Amino acid sequence: MADQERKPNLKVGTEWIPVEITSEPYVVMTIRGFAPVVDVKTPGGDFILYVSSKSMSDGLVPLLEKTDGKFNGLKFKVKKESEDKMARYILENQ
């Protein structure tokens, strides 16, 4: 993916965003090294979503249990607990 144009990062705020994952996880290079992401489709367009945070992982695990661990095709809505940069992600099944 290094030679492709990277999709923008999905900015998650305190409002619900409906999301459909359209890839399996892969890594991108960041200033801190490699980080796992998935491609997502939202009403606002196509983005990448970082899946490395504990709260994001905790929210994804119950959804992945229903799909034999497959990310591609998962649908849920996501928001942050507060405006704080380090606020936890909240995921709900769609």
Closest CA to 2 of 27, 35, 37, 22: 27
In a domain, 11, yes or no: no
3-class DSSP assignment, residue 86: coil
Mean local confidence (pLDDT), 21-27: 97
Pairing of strands 45-50, 75-80: unpaired
In a domain, 35, yes or no: yes
pLDDT in tens, 45-70: 999 999 999 999 999 999 999 999 99
How many other C-beta atoms lie within 10 A of the C-beta of residue 75?
Answer: 13
The range of the structural domain enclosing residue 21 comes to 17-93
In a domain, 1, yes or no: no
In a domain, 2, yes or no: no
In a domain, 51, yes or no: yes
3-class DSSP assignment, residue 84: coil
3-class DSSP assignment, residue 6: coil
- Total-model pTM: 0.90
In a domain, 12, yes or no: no
How many domains, in total, are found in the chain? 1
pLDDT of 1 over the 50 cut: no
